Amino acid sequence: MSHTTKSYKSRRRISFGGQSGQAMLFLLMTLVILVFAILLNLDVHKILRLKFLSQNGGDAAALAAARWQGITLNIVGDLNIMQAVAIAEEDEFTIGAISNIQARLLYTGPMIAVEASQQAAKNNKMYANDDFTDRMRAHAARVREVYPYQTDSDGEMMFPEPYPNAWEEYADMLDAVANNGVAAGPDNAHYYNDRTGGHTLLRMDFYDAVAGESWCWFYHHDYELLQTYSSYNDWDELPPIPHQEYINSELFGLGLTKQTATLEDITGDPTAFTTLFTEIMEERMPGSAITETSTVTEATWYTYSSSRWGTWDIMNPEAPEFFPLTGTLKEQYNYRGADAVCRINSDGLTLLTPDQQAPMVVWSAAAKPFGFLNDTERPNDYTLVIPAYHQVAMIPVDASSAPSGGSYNIEWRDHIELHLDPYMAGGTGALDSDCYYCAQLTTWERDSFRESGVDWLSENSYLCTLPGSSGGRRGGGTRRGH
């Protein structure tokens, strides 16, 4: 009997010990799950905060840059007014000095805008981006070491200076920005050595179409290419670097030009312009007046470039390609002109994966100086630059002057600047194995890839319809969506 009782107690103790171990294991698992939940919640909070800060930093940077663009345009306009007064007084020294100041202002004004955008981003808790800073410094070196000496096939200077020692001074300003750290990349920079034209290899959406096997893109944009392409030798040559008038800064440039003519010839409506000009002079330079000598004397004036300051067609709902709007753009604001686009790249370590980088948060923001003349006229209606800008506002990035890939999308810029020429000369063997866009070209070169696209379209091309409103016009959907 005693033996039986002892055995029972022993079994009972063993059973109790097993339950205790299971409870401890359950509590431990619960604790681990709770810790991971807390870490996940903190990571989500950190990423959301990073997105919030990135958006604020990008928006602030773009607005600051656009504000300085408007200030600079107004100063250029004031100097045009001062030149009209100097012409009336036959003051040749002042006329020459004004022209020199305007030439320099087209670089210093936008570069102040660049520095202001950096300060605005940093004030919103954005830190300097090493890749952006390195790119700014590398471009300063290019301006200093290449621009003054590069010639074309005829031996002519590719980049003639707009004023004496311009490239050295411009490079110094770029270096000054880089030395302070670049937090917001000027994403609508237009570099002098950029290629022009619509070559397929310079279109980011081509690479996206290859990566996503988006055959409808080829159907709408270049069906013949998909059908007939056989090797890299089939590509047309990349477009050459264009010759242009180098008077505008590459970063946040104003899109102005110089005209040597009379004010009557430039403005097109001397009577209306003289009335407006007189009113502005009385407001900004009391005691001064425009004279007939000012309007009929030939001189060099700073004016709006027609190629940059046309109508803002992408904001017109009646245009074939337009940004979807909820309202109507006022006529006095219906111009493209100067704008500022800033890119923020933010990344950081997560608590769950401290040895890896979190997915990068990328935010691009665009802003523009707005103004008008006589309440209802566009600032560029008379071609001559005169003070007209009163405010700045955010605009859709897809309606800005930023190229589709962005000027500070480092991987994209490296691809079009460093990889395309070797590829055109030697095919995929010359491509960078770590480059996303190079990988798409490698895929594109496979015959089986292109054949699958042709086969799919032969049976399903009827599915390739563009979304649009009644009448078949395209509507809704742009690359960035904002």
- Token pair of 274 as six digits: 């003289």
Where are any strands of DSSP class E within 281-351? 299-304, 340-346
The DSSP call for residue 328 is -
The DSSP call for residue 301 is E
| pTM confidence score | 0.84
**What is the identity of the amino acid at 214?**
S
pLDDT score, position 329: 86
Q: Compute the distance between CA of residue 262 and CA of residue 244 in angstroms, rounded to an integer.
A: 23
CB neighbours of 219 closer than 8 A, spacing ≥ 6?
457, 461, 464
- Using alpha carbons, select from 317, 373, 315, 358 the residue that is nearest to residue 339: 315
Angle at 12 between CA 11 and CA 16, to 5 degrees: 120
φ, ψ dihedrals at 281, nearest 5°: -65, -40
Q: Which helix (H) or strand (E) holds 256?
A: strand 256-261
Q: Compute the distance between CA of residue 305 and CA of residue 310 in angstroms, rounded to an integer.
A: 8
Q: Compute the distance between CA of residue 162 and CA of residue 245 in angstroms, rounded to an integer.
A: 8
Read out DSSP for 381-423?
A: TTSB--S-EEEEEEE-GGGSS--TT-TT-HHHHHIIIIIHHHH
What percent helix, strand, coil does the chain show, rounded to 5?
55, 10, 35
Q: Compute the distance between CA of residue 304 and CA of residue 336 in angstroms, rounded to an integer.
A: 11
Q: Compute the distance between CA of residue 231 and CA of residue 447 in angstroms, rounded to an integer.
A: 9
| Sequential pLDDT tens for the chain (482 residues) | 445 555 445 454 555 556 677 777 777 787 778 777 776 666 666 666 677 788 899 999 999 999 999 999 999 999 999 999 899 888 899 999 999 999 999 999 999 999 999 999 999 989 999 999 999 999 999 999 999 998 887 888 889 999 999 999 999 999 999 999 999 999 999 999 888 767 999 999 999 999 999 999 999 999 999 999 999 999 999 988 877 789 999 999 999 999 999 988 888 777 788 888 888 877 777 777 777 888 888 999 999 999 999 999 888 877 777 777 777 889 999 999 999 999 999 875 544 455 455 557 889 999 999 999 988 899 999 999 999 999 999 999 989 998 878 899 999 999 999 999 999 999 999 899 899 999 999 999 999 999 999 999 999 999 998 665 433 334 444 555 55
Spatial contact of 263 and 273, defined as CB atoms under 8 Å apart? yes
Per-domain residue ranges for the chain?
Answer: 16-194+242-403, 197-240+409-482
